[in-house]
Structure 1
Amino acid sequence: MTIRLLVVDDDPLVRAGLSLMLGGAEDLRIVGEAADGAEVLALVERLAPDVVLMDIRMPDVDGLTATEELRRRPGAPEVVVLTTFHADEQVLRALRAGAAGFVLKDTPPAEIVAAVRRVAAGEPVLSPAVTRQLMSHVAGAPAATGGDARRAAALTRTSLLADREREVAVEIGRGRSNAEIAASLYMSVPTVKTHVSRILAKLGFNNRVQIALLAHDAGLFDEDDPEPAT
């Protein structure tokens, strides 16, 4: 299968570099480029990419706004965010909006290609270790404006989950893999996968990072819980 890719970045040199290195992969095809988030929706509708590689910082419509608008549409392509930071509020906002993950702009080309392939196959881009880093950032950050409203909304959504599903959501929020969750909750890996699928369906989420963020927003963790092993 050929993966159709749309590259979005306001820097023409970055776009050219990405197109050059990604276009060299036999199973990737660059179907279009955009210099601003304002162009994304029309290009997606016309070119039907499988994956959008999206820069965050652009002068007119930024990648966050474009990601939020795009992921609200049915049948939207997956989004991988391009950033210069491992974990900041903008990356977290993109993940909450449904981006499948992020890659740093200085990531080696082979790793960016691998990330695009995983996303196109419906697999997570973020490793458990990176998820733990993000969750640590969320836990240590000062409460943002509207934090109380976000927590109330998150609690309302988590109330849709059965008790066992909520336990799995908490383990996902700790950055644990399916195997680690299975060992912690004394269930099989296939059972964990089933619970994760049900959680995604009930919450209307695209990936497990959104589950992790929701668990933190809802305050489902005890403050004295030990940090998971890395």
Structure 2
Amino acid sequence: MSRILVADDHPFFRLGVEAVLRMGGHDVVAMTGDGDETLAAIERENPDIVLLDVRMPCRDGVSTLAELRRRGDTRPVIILTVEMNDEQLLSVIRSQVNGIVFKHDAEHCLLKAIDSVMNGMRYLDGDLIDKAIAHASSASPSSRLAGLTPKELDVAQHVARGLRNREVAARLGTTEGTVKVYLHNIYTKLGISNRTELANSLKDAGE
């Protein structure tokens, strides 16, 4: 069971999300209607995961996520949206969003998305995967690597040198499963699908 904060400016939608979450065995610790209220509630309630609507008054979901990351808050965040333009998508990816779920699919996909991000994976809904890869592919090699966390960059550098997951885990003092999770996130952020492409990406960026 996860402790979840739901941020959306439509009360009816919030209640629907709350019902889905409770049926899935999760605890809704707070429901908020704007970005500033959400930031305050996160500090007060300390949820395990935050569900953010893109469009909210005062501070929208995109800027709320950016502010969380600026504060050093790395807890999982899933964006809920009817639609996203390219600028919004690129912004939330740069802010290390953990998942994106379309509202019309929330009843069927939200619990799966929560399970994924709580297990260290990313959940990008539908066509957003292709758009994210297109954005990552069009960026310069150095700017693409800038989106990796320090630990992800460590893993990427070791893998690019030809080390197996087991060897990387031993070098970094972690588990092989954790290395696999890091690789999944690295591939998603860089828009690649294998170790050869990863090695080429680091080579192009001068790493």
3-state SS, counterpart of residue 54 of structure 1: strand
* 2:132 matches 1:154: no
Instruction: Give how far 1:122 is off.
Output: 1.7
Partner of 1:51: 49
Distance in 2 separating the partners of 1:155 and 1:97: 13
- TM-score normalised by structure 1 residue count: 0.62
Partner of 1:10: 9
Instruction: Give how far 1:132 is off.
Output: 3.9
Instruction: Give how far 1:33 is off.
Output: 0.6
Partner of 2:63: 65
Instruction: Give how far 1:11 is off.
Output: 1.1
Pick from 205, 208, 217 the counterpart of residue 186 of structure 2. Answer: 208
Which is worse superposed, 48-57 or 187-196? 187-196
Matched AA of 1:208: I
Correspondences of 1:50-199 after superposition (within 5 Å): 50-85=48-83, 88-126=86-124, 131-137=129-135, 139=137, 154=143, 157=146, 165=157, 188=164, 190=166
Q: Is the 8 A contact 2:8 2:33 kept in 1?
A: yes
Partner of 1:225: none
Distance in 2 separating the partners of 1:191 and 1:127: 33
Structure 2 gaps of 5+ residues are 192-200, 203-207
Instruction: Give how far 1:57 is off.
Output: 1.1
Change (3 A) 1:128 1:59: closer
3-state SS, counterpart of residue 104 of structure 2: coil
3-state SS, counterpart of residue 114 of structure 1: helix
Distance in 2 separating the partners of 1:106 and 1:188: 41
Number of aligned positions between the proteins: 184
Q: Is the 8 A contact 2:6 2:28 kept in 1?
A: yes
Instruction: Give how far 1:187 is off.
Output: 6.6
Matched AA of 2:56: M
Identity %: 29
3-state SS, counterpart of residue 78 of structure 2: strand
Structure 1 gaps of 5+ residues are 141-149, 169-184, 201-206, 214-219, 222-230
- TM-score normalised by structure 2 residue count: 0.68
More helix by share: 2
* 2:25 matches 1:22: no
Q: Is the 8 A contact 1:51 1:79 kept in 2?
A: yes
Partner of 2:34: 36
Instruction: Give how far 1:117 is off.
Output: 1.8
Matched AA of 2:53: D
**Cα RMSD (Å):** 4.2
Partner of 2:198: none
Instruction: Give how far 1:42 is off.
Output: 1.2
Distance in 2 separating the partners of 1:212 and 1:44: 30
3-state SS, counterpart of residue 4 of structure 2: strand
3-state SS, counterpart of residue 123 of structure 2: coil
Change (3 A) 1:55 1:19: same
Q: Is the 8 A contact 2:102 2:125 kept in 1?
A: no
Change (3 A) 1:189 1:127: farther
Distance in 1 separating the partners of 2:75 and 2:44: 12
3-state SS, counterpart of residue 28 of structure 2: strand
Instruction: Give how far 1:96 is off.
Output: 0.8
